[in-house]
């Protein structure tokens, strides 16, 4: 221990010119054991939620020592030994992150028997002239008009590439699935129109900041808000996320003003919190390779799934029954080229980027992992991906952007819908099913792994249910009674013209029009009916195959 601390002291001396006296320095301190803990695996309800315990029981996963919180005696001993403040803890890796203004405080821990490892995860400020990498490509802001393929609008192609619209037709929209989004912040997510249903319906289960430890994440970086919108956004007829009915924990671990290993430790604490809260899925559109302090940089050989703390923690999370979805990285065109961490972790579903036609994005990081695992595992739309804008100037508008940061949440929502439909499967069974249902499963490569998954095929493989094109029908009409506007949702088995008539009870045709509709779900709206007399009317819709739908409509004078 003495030799290790001496080496560590020399390392501190060598970097001390880089540090201002008032800079906050962070250290990772890993403990040797959890001996004499006040907690016991026989009483898991003391440190795990009932939902977390139920997830383990459902998948036959035992509660083990790394579920126990860090020994509070060890934490207190460190804090009392010098001018340290506790920043975060990790029960899985049995350690803590502490902050201090004086690196020499660490010398007080020399020879402490229960300390296994100490590492400087120094926070360095962003160098002058650098920009926030998340803000480099805001994407194109698009005009929103009436869209085909209701309710998807602009998002239809990125949804249909994976046949996710078929699962949505089965009613799988993520209901009951709990997702943790671990990101750099969720700026304006509480103000975006297309996300308001999450707050109105109580489906934002918690928010927590593991960087500043304050009580909000809505004033921080925009990145997480865009990610959240890809999963959960919903603007009727204009934009549809992949799992708009899921529930969410919004967790901030990334400091977008710096790049340090300390952010990995923040992430680990956030993942452990998500586990304890009972989440099913974690989305991580983050990755680490190179840092502000070049001494902390990783090498490709360390992208082996077993070296970095964040990769190790990701595999531990998977061992608890959580399905982790992470971005491959955006280094395909850079000298680094390779995936980042935790994309290298063995048990995570790592996602590359393609466009909505399935063409690979050149910026998407490549594999394999350093130990030869298929990485990326799969690919989804991360090139010209539609999301809802969090910027004040165009808040809630449909925009486009690029990055595997966007392909990961595409997959997160899709696996939520699939798992909702197959609740008896484990996280690893869902992961395997998605890989097996991808278009190059028999010949995976280092660019997009097993390829582009077909979620309808995945559901069919597990259930034997074969999707059939919708029959021509009137799916829904509302409101009824109506006052001035009425909406008709039509399912169509092909692109075709339909004839719409509204008659009074004497058979007089008050409205007659022909409308082209697309294969799938369509929305027709009839307006300016406020002056009609109160009473009963008949709606008649005729399809090209001469099938008809007739419904009774009731007109009120007002609401």
Same domain, 269 and 320: yes
List the one residue out of 113, 121, 106 whose CA is nearest residue 5.
106
Judge whether 231 lies within some domain. yes
Same domain, 535 and 488: yes
Same domain, 229 and 365: yes
How many other C-beta atoms lie within 10 A of the C-beta of residue 277?
A: 18
Query: Domain limits at 492?
Result: 473-555
Judge whether 78 lies within some domain. no
Over its length of 559 residues, how does the chain's per-residue pLDDT go in tens digits? 333 333 333 333 333 333 334 457 899 999 999 999 999 999 999 999 999 999 999 999 999 999 999 999 999 999 998 889 999 999 999 999 999 988 888 888 888 999 998 998 865 444 444 443 333 333 333 332 334 678 898 999 999 999 999 999 899 999 999 999 999 999 999 999 999 999 999 999 999 999 999 889 999 999 999 999 999 999 988 999 999 999 999 999 999 999 999 999 999 999 999 999 999 999 999 999 999 999 999 999 999 999 999 999 999 999 999 999 999 999 999 999 999 999 999 999 999 999 999 999 999 999 999 999 999 999 999 999 999 999 998 899 999 999 999 999 999 999 999 999 999 999 999 999 999 999 999 999 999 999 999 999 999 999 999 988 778 888 888 999 988 888 888 888 888 989 989 998 888 888 888 888 888 788 888 887 888 888 999 999 999 999 999 999 998 875 4
Alpha-carbon Rg for the chain in angstroms:
27
The SS3 assignment for 274 reads: helix
Its pTM stands at 0.82
- Is-contact 181 227, C-beta < 8 A? yes
Q: How far apart are CA 516 and CA 398, in angstroms?
A: 25
Same domain, 400 and 503: no
Same domain, 326 and 370: yes
- Predicted confidence at residue 136, as pLDDT, reads 32
Separation in Å, CA 388 to CA 138, 141, 354, 397, 543: 11, 9, 19, 6, 35
Same domain, 481 and 374: no
Same domain, 478 and 451: no
- Predicted confidence at residue 122, as pLDDT, reads 67
Structurally, the chain folds into a number of domains equal to 2
- Is-contact 217 224, C-beta < 8 A? yes
Judge whether 105 lies within some domain. no
Judge whether 199 lies within some domain. yes
Q: Quote the distance between the C-alpha of residue 497 and its chain's center.
A: 39
CATH of the domain at 535: 2.60.40.1930
CATH of the domain at 366: 3.40.50.200
- Predicted confidence at residue 148, as pLDDT, reads 61
- Is-contact 253 263, C-beta < 8 A? yes
Judge whether 70 lies within some domain. no
- Is-contact 487 477, C-beta < 8 A? yes
Same domain, 141 and 288: yes
Q: How far apart are CA 257 and CA 130, in angstroms?
A: 9
- Is-contact 348 428, C-beta < 8 A? no
- Predicted confidence at residue 558, as pLDDT, reads 55
Same domain, 203 and 313: yes
Judge whether 13 lies within some domain. no
Structure tokens given for 362:
């050149």
- Is-contact 98 108, C-beta < 8 A? no
Picking from 458, 487, 504, the residue at the C-terminal end of a domain is 458
- Predicted confidence at residue 6, as pLDDT, reads 31
Judge whether 337 lies within some domain. yes
Structure tokens given for 270:
């956030």
- Is-contact 280 177, C-beta < 8 A? yes
Question: Which positions ≥6 away from 187 have C-beta within 8 Å?
Answer: 218, 219, 220, 221, 222, 224, 225, 390
Same domain, 453 and 485: no
Same domain, 317 and 256: yes
List the one residue out of 209, 206, 347, 231 whose CA is nearest residue 285.
231
Q: Is the peptide bond before 479 cis (omega within 30 degrees of 0)?
A: yes
Q: Provide the H-helix boundaries in 59-102.
A: 72-81
Interhelix angle 427-436/404-421, rounded to 10 degrees, is 110
Judge whether 14 lies within some domain. no
List the one residue out of 271, 436, 263 whose CA is nearest residue 340.
263
Picking from 404, 428, 458, the residue at the C-terminal end of a domain is 458
Picking from 428, 458, 488, the residue at the C-terminal end of a domain is 458
Q: Quote the distance between the C-alpha of residue 360 and its chain's center.
A: 21
Same domain, 452 and 479: no
């Amino acid at each position: 221990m003495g030799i290790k601390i001496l080496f560590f002291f020399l390392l501190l001396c060598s970097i001390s010119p880089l540090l201002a006296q008032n800079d906050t320095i962070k250290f990772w301190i890993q403990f040797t054991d959890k001996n004499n803990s006040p907690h016991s695996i026989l009483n898991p309800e003391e440190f795990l939620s009932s939902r977390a315990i139920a997830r383990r029981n459902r998948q036959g996963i035992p509660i083990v020592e790394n579920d126990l919180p860090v020994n509070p005696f060890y934490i207190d001993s460190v804090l009392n030994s010098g001018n340290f403040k506790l920043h975060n803890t990790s029960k899985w890796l049995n350690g803590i992150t502490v902050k201090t203004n004086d690196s020499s405080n660490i010398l007080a821990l020399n020879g402490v028997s229960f300390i296994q490892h100490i590492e400087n995860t120094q926070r360095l400020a962003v160098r002058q002239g650098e920009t926030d990498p998340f803000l480099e490509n805001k994407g194109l802001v698009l005009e929103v008009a009436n869209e085909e393929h209701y309710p998807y609008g602009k998002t239809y192609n990125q949804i249909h590439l994976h046949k996710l619209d078929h699962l949505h037709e089965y009613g799988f929209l993520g209901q009951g699935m709990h997702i943790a989004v671990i990101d750099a912040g969720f700026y304006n997510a509480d103000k975006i129109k297309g996300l308001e249903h999450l707050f109105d319906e109580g489906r934002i289960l918690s928010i927590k900041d593991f960087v500043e430890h304050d009580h909000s994440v809505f004033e921080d970086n925009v990145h997480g808000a865009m990610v959240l919108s890809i999963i959960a956004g919903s603007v009727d007829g204009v934009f549809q996320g992949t799992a708009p009915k899921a529930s969410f924990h919004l967790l901030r671990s990334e400091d977008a003003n710096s790049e340090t290993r300390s952010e990995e430790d923040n992430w680990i604490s956030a993942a452990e919190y998500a586990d304890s809260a009972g989440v099913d899925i974690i989305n991580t559109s983050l990755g680490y390779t190179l840092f502000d302090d070049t001494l902390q940089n990783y090498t490709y050989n360390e992208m082996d799934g077993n070296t970095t703390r964040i990769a190790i923690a990701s595999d531990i999370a998977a061992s608890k029954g959580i399905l982790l979805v992470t971005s491959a990285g955006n280094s395909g065109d850079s000298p680094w080229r390779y995936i980042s961490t935790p994309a290298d972790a063995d048990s995570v579903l790592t996602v590359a980027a393609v466009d909505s036609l399935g063409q690979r994005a050149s910026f998407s990081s490549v594999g394999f992992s350093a130990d030869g695992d298929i990485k990326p595992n799969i690919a989804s739309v991360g090139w010209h991906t539609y999301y809802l804008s969090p910027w004040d100037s165009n808040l809630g508008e449909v925009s486009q952007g690029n990055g595997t940061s966007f392909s990961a949440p595409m997959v997160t929502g899709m696996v939520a819908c699939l798992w909702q439909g197959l609740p008896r499967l484990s996280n690893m069974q869902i992961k395997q099913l998605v890989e097996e249902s991808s278009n190059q499963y028999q010949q995976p490569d280092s660019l997009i792994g097993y390829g582009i998954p077909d979620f309808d095929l995945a559901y069919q493989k597990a259930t034997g249910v074969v999707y059939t094109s919708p029959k021509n029908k009137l799916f829904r009409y509302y409101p009824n009674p109506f006052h001035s506007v009425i909406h008709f949702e039509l399912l169509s088995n092909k692109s075709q013209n339909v004839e719409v008539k509204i008659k009074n009870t004497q058979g007089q045709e008050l409205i007659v029009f022909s409308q082209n509709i697309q294969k799938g779900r369509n929305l027709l709206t009839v307006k300016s009916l406020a002056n009609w007399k109160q009473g009963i009317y008949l709606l008649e819709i005729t399809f090209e195959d001469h099938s008809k739908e007739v419904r009774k409509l009731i007109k009120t004078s007002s609401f």
